[in-house]
């Protein structure tokens, strides 16, 4: 956003550096806790800055909404049992993905009817809606599996690969429509297909492999945030999201390698006929 003042851009740059150092710290046992704190500081500074950077209306409802989310987040994070932490991370990741999808839908609803929107912006908006909803639905399903609200065994039914393929084709078609003929209801339809895709993606994965899927969906959410940053013209979203997308992808590979498996095998192994627990 060229209208963003220079001092704001400088603060966003400092926040982006905080995120890089946070990931660096989190990679070493000695500095992990300090790294996490630095990441939190960067995030809080970025959030405070945005209130001064732009003419934000509806200030009171927004502050109340932040307070509500903060209370829910803190209570969830403090009450959770140590053994339930992976599914809590999945929940947090899911709501983040849904938030990104809603932001993109609102941006789309703001842009329809004006005409002459840059096609690439619309493509990024479609990407955020689709991948954000995939991440949300997938994360909720991983939560259900780990919390044993449903069977943690791979769920397979005849026609699942066909349904999965159809959902992908449908999603791509709707994404093209968002770009060529932007309308809000097409964006919503794209989000609904995204929800179905997220469910179909995670159903065939066995319980023991679920943490790796959470890591993969985490990387997905990172990329949706990056795309959202491009659409909104916000550098801290672009850098923060991309960092998580890239490091999350590598982390997923490392986690799979630690189990002696490949990511493709974990995601699609059950579809090829073998059990996801025994393969590899």
Helix (H, G, I), strand (E, B) or coil at 234: coil
Pattern of binders to another protein over 116-135, x per CB under 8 A?
----x---------------
Least spacing, CB of residue 132 vs another protein, in Å: 9
Q: Is 230 in the site for another protein (CB under 8 A)?
A: yes
Q: Judge contact between 229 and 235, C-beta under 8 A.
A: yes
Report the run of H or E that residue 27 belongs to, with start and end.
Answer: none
The answer to whether the beta carbons of residues 269 and 258 sit under 8 Å apart is no
Q: Give least dist CB 274 to another protein, A.
A: 25
What part of residues 241-270 is at the interface with another protein (CB under 8 A)? 241-251, 254-255, 258
Q: What is the DSSP letter of 54?
A: S
- Taking phi over 0 as left and psi of -120 to 50 as alpha, with beta for the rest, 154 belongs to beta
Looking at the Cβ atoms of 107 and 203, the one nearer to another protein is 107
| Site residues (CB under 8 A) for another protein, limited to 26-65 | 26-37, 39-40, 43, 46-47, 50-51, 54-59, 61-62, 65
∠ Cα 179 183 185 (to 5°): 120
The pattern of x and - marking residues 71 through 110 that bind another protein according to CB under 8 A reads -xxx-xxx-x-x--xx-xx--xx-xx-xxx-xx-xxx-xx
Residue 142 engages another protein in binding (rule: CB under 8 A):
no
**Cβ(12)–Cβ(50) under 8 Å?**
no
């Amino acid at each position: 956003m060229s209208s963003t003042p220079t001092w704001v851009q400088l603060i966003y740059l400092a926040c982006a550096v905080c995120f890089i150092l946070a990931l660096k710290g989190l990679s070493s046992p000695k500095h992990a806790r300090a790294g996490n704190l630095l990441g939190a500081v960067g995030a809080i500074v970025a959030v405070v800055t945005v209130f001064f950077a732009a003419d934000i209306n509806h200030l009171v409802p927004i502050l109340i909404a932040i307070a509500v989310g903060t209370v829910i987040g803190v209570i969830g994070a403090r009450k959770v049992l140590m053994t339930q932490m992976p599914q809590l991370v999945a929940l947090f990741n899911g709501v983040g993905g849904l938030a990104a999808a809603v932001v993109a839908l609102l941006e789309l609803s703001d842009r329809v009817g004006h005409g002459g929107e840059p096609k690439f912006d619309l493509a990024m908006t479609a990407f955020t809606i689709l991948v954000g909803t995939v991440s949300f639905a997938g994360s909720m399903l991983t939560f259900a599996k780990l919390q044993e609200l449903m069977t943690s065994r791979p769920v397979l039914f005849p026609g699942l690969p066909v349904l999965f393929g159809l959902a992908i084709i449908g999603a791509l078609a709707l994404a093209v429509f968002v770009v060529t003929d932007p309308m809000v209801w097409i964006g919503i339809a794209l989000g609904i297909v995204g929800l179905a895709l997220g469910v179909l993606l995670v159903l065939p994965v066995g319980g023991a492999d679920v943490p790796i899927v959470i890591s993969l969906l985490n990387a997905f959410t990172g990329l949706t945030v990056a795309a959202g940053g491009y659409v909104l013209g916000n550098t801290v979203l672009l850098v923060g999201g991309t960092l998580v997308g890239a490091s999350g992808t590598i982390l997923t590979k490392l986690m799979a390698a630690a189990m002696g498996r490949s990511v493709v095998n974990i995601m699609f192994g059950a579809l090829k006929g073998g059990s996801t627990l025994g393969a590899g």
